[in-house]
Structure 1
Amino acid sequence: MPDVEIRKIATSLEEIHHEGGPRAEKPYRRAAIVAVIKNPYAGQYHADIQPFMEDLKPLGLMMAQRLVEMLGGDPSVVEGYGKGAIIGLGGEIEHGALWHAPGGYAMREVLGGSKAIVPSTKKVGGPGTRLDVPVTHTEASYVRSHFDSIEVGLNDAPRANEMAVVLVMTTGARVHNRAGGLAAEDIKGEDGLR
């Protein structure tokens, strides 16, 4: 399989100071990175698609490192993450599943071995398709204060023979979280859930 062919990369960074209530002492930061790449399997069915996962690993690492840089360069400030993919109309949903391991393991590696599963979503769509990428805590999936989603999409992507792969990271709990449940400071960190 040849190297991954990137057409474009887009990033976004949000700083949320309040949601109508008191100002946060420190803004909640949410970062997203989208890489629009050629889908080598677009246009026809291929039985063996797993080799592309290996090709995607360096892209995942580069994207995860860029997210940490966007959030200040210190991996320890990252408390939430997620991933996703939008597959162009010439592809199939299964092509997006190839991003699960390269995207998820890249973020875990860059963050020093986070335990929680990296939540994910994927869909097939054309240029302008939007995707809500789920976010959970990096160490325990049951921490409700960190449940979030980041909407991504580009007006000119993905084209039929492309896919847009996405990674997102956040720096903490939602600004005015008060839905209860397991608190981040009470994480045991044994199983990635609690």
Structure 2
Amino acid sequence: TRTVRGDDGADKSFVDVLLQSMKVLAIDQVADVSKDSPTVVKSVTLEASTKDAQKLTLAAGAGQLSLALRQAAASKGEMTERVTLSDLTGETPADVAARQAELDKKAAAEAEAAAERKRAEDKIAGLTQAVERVGSRLDELGKVKIAPIVMAAPQPVVKEVVKYVQPEPPARATIGVFRGVKLETYDVPRQP
């Protein structure tokens, strides 16, 4: 197992099979009756040709060596190929980058939608305050009473007329509509 840096600067890990059908001569073991758990093996002695020994020595310096046990009846080697990280997941680095770009795009869209909702809520809050101010002003105007005028003895020449003038309604009205539990307000022209 080894890791190399590719042309694009990314590290790429892979596993190659170096030797097959090697005869195992000895395995490191510790015979200790006082211990209940097994001891991790630190060395394995294999029967190898000079060239195979050179391969093992070079591979030990280039990466990490692992030993895989095969069936006892499997004496011949089999065809092998290099295994990479993309074989584990079935994805290439381009697939991973595309998926990450899609996730980033979705996160940006959700952030934009949240900002739009915040702007709409702020606008609704402002409209609600304006409606409350107009309602308070209308309540104040509705409570205004005209004080009666007390006149002295009527004089035939002077005549006073008191006329109540209805205040003119505003040109626009704010209408509130409940959609579920949410109040939506609309500023519309008042109908005559």
Fold shared by both chains (TM-score > 0.5): no
Q: Which has the higher contact order (CA 8 A, sep 6+)?
A: 1
Question: Normalising to structure 2: TM-score of the pair?
Answer: 0.17
Which of the two has greater strand per residue? 1
Larger Cα Rg: Structure 1 or Structure 2?
2
Scaled by the length of structure 1, what TM-score is found? 0.17
